[in-house]
Structure 1
Amino acid sequence: MKDGKRKSAGDSKEPPRRKKRDKTKHSAQNSAADQRREFQARYVEEHHLGGGGCGAVFAGYRITDHCPVAIKHIPKDRIPIKVTGENGKRVSVEVAIMLKLAAEADGPVGTSAPVSLLDWFDLGTELILVLERPVPAVDLHDYITENGGCLPEEKAKVILKQLVDAAKDLEDKHIFHRDIKSENILIETGSDVPRVRIIDFGLSCFAKERSVYRLFYGTPIHTPPECYGRKKYRAGPTTVWQMGVVLYEALHVGDFDTMTFLQKELKFNKDLSPHCRNFLDACLTNVPEKRPTLGDLQLHPWLR
């Protein structure tokens, strides 16, 4: 996410490999100074890419093969969510979730929709996450801007189909991203068909099917309606709402704002096909129980 964009509460190389890490790597015997030296021996950090509420991201490359990476710095006092790891210690949920995704990946780095965690370092006062950096790629917000401020329906469909499939895969793994939006979606532009990649799991969490949340993490202007009325929300309906927000912004000039939507002041493109408008309306249904599931969206006529 780049500076100036909505805040939350390169060159072509061979696909990077995940570094096999010793599980004792982050034990007391590995000091912060040791880890800093190890990081500096493996990676070169370059220009600032962007940042959000949880940290800053820089471009960089791996020294051994010049493979492009994204280097995320997260101050320890700004880690929003922690979980208990295998060693019984508290760890950033972003690290825990990305390690789970890496362990359950069906193919090599670069084949999954979520970008891969390649390496990580605990420097005492901050964490450093070394992430896959797809090149060439641009975030969806900029991709839409570069395409005149909104996308043709057919191009939006290509992106939404991949996004819904990716969100369903995360749901099946019991992972709730919580902040899927255009700035957190990379579009790989190196082929004729744009490819969707999901980034920034800093606000994510492990979710059970019936988990209910009361403290909202995400982008305030995208808050689902149930957070205002019921003061609680669930993973599935919230993610479907976010599918609608992303699609709205892809097809219209300007940002989506929940309060403007609830006040019926948001304008809709009158040239959308009936199936597309039905898909959009279904995702942006006020009552969460009446929204389709991600599985339902996969079967929607607009995406078939």
Structure 2
Amino acid sequence: MRRLLLLVVLKEAEREEKRSFWRWPALCFHRKAAKYDLAKAEKKYQAEAGSYRAFTDAPPSKVHPAAEEQLEQDVPGKGHIRSHYKIGPKLGQGGFGFVYEGTRCKDGLEVAVKFSVKSPNMPYIRVPGHPKAIPMEIGLTLMANNSSRIPQIIKLLDWEDNKDHYIMVMERPMPCMDLKSFVKLHGERLDEGAARKVMRQVIEAANVCVKHGVFHRDIKMENLLVNTNTMEVKLIDFGCGAQMKKLAYKVFRGTQAYCPPEATVSTNVFCHFLVWFGLIMSHKLLAKSN
């Protein structure tokens, strides 16, 4: 019976098609948030950005400071991102946000800038070192990076919390693409050596999150970036995540195609479901789609 359930879930996973570079799962937001008009929100962002958005034909400088200096976070403050970063073309969008290319003005560092519209019941959390509660996604990303350089987790370089939206500035590995696109580029499957290298980093990323009190809840191929030169993998998008707890989570949040069979017969969701996510991903890396 379990094997049959596995085959059904895998089949559903293969049918799932994603259209953007980074996508925010609709399951992680409250239903009432549907009243937001994303087209209107984007126009508002672009109107506000008129004084600082810059497009140029000249390539950004490839000479950057050392990695640790690059990842030094600025002091958060309303409006400071607009003066510290040049915003470029859109990389992608999801249900409640947009991701743009960006360049840090002081040194030309290439970054990704994510604008997220707040939903009515968006959760906030308190994080050590910050006097006020901050949006859950920002807090979890900070918690996951709460130590020295962690190559498997995307770095949050800067952030800004506003009344109806928040902004996150993240490192942008170059050159890179999401893992799903990377696998498709290589004939829709990887050899065992490459798959092993990828999965080792994915498992390490999940382990680091758990150690730091973060349950990502949406580890999938679209939420993993691969440096195409070095095969370095980074976990992104904590918008579906939660703080770790000993008791079960009452609701499954994440991509339905990665939902464990147990979640269909029980309302209790535990962090050890990460094992199932790993099983699905291993299958996607090694088994060519039909």
Residue 167 of structure 1: aligned partner: 206
Counterparts of 2:120 and 2:110, CA distance in 1: 26
Provide the rounded CA distance (Å) in 2 between the counterparts of 1:52 and 1:240.
27
Q: 2:235 aligns with which of 198, 204, 209?
A: 198
Q: Give me the identity figure in percent.
A: 27
Residue 256 of structure 2 aligns to which amino acid in structure 1? P
Contact 2:24–2:96 at 8 Å: present in 1 too? no
AA aligned to 1:246 is: M
CA contact (8 A) 2:22 2:223 kept: no
Please list, as runs of the form range in 1=range in 2, the aligned pairs for 1:113-152 lying within 5 A after superposition.
113-152=152-191
Q: How many pairs does the alignment contain? A: 235
Distance 1:184 1:79 in 2: 24
Q: Measure, in 2, the Cα distance between the counterparts of 1:7 and 1:94.
A: 11
Q: Could you tell me which residue of structure 1 aligns to residue 140 of structure 2?
A: 97
Partner of residue 247, structure 1: 282
Deviation at 1:40, TM superposition (A): 1.6
Task: Summarize deviations over 1:49-100 as a string: whole Å, max 9, x none.
Answer: 1233342211111011110111011112277432245667442111112222
Are residue 212 (structure 1) and residue 251 (structure 2) matched?
Answer: no
Change (3 A) 1:123 1:6: closer
Q: 1:7 to 1:106 in 2, by over 3 A?
A: closer
User: What letter is aligned with 1:201?
Assistant: F
In the other structure, the counterpart of 2:268 is: 232
Change in Cα spacing, 1:5 to 1:83, as seen in structure 2 (3 Å) is closer
Residue number in structure 2 paired with 1:21: 75
Q: Which residue of 1 aligns with 2:42?
A: none
Partner of 2:125: 83
Residues 224, 235 of structure 2: 8 Å contact kept = yes
Higher relative contact order, chain-length normalized (CA < 8 Å, sep 6+): 2
Extract unaligned runs of 5+ from structure 2: 1-17, 28-58
Confirm or deny: 8 A CA contact 1:212 1:233 kept in the other structure: yes
Give the TM-score normalised by the residue count of structure 2: 0.74
Any unmatched runs of 5+ in structure 1? 26-34, 255-266, 268-304
1:80 and 1:202 in contact (8 A); partners too: no
Contact kept, 8 Å, 1:61 with 1:68, in 2: the verdict is yes
Letter in 1 for 2:248: V
Q: CA deviation at 1:184?
A: 0.3
CA RMSD of aligned residues (A): 2.5
Q: Are the counterparts in 2 of residues 160 and 247 from structure 1 also a CA contact under 8 Å?
A: yes
For 2:224 and 2:157, how far apart are their aligned partners in 1? 19
Work out which of the residue numbers 86, 96, 109 in structure 2 matches 1:44: 86
Instruction: Pick from 147, 151, 157 the counterpart of residue 112 of structure 1.
Output: 151
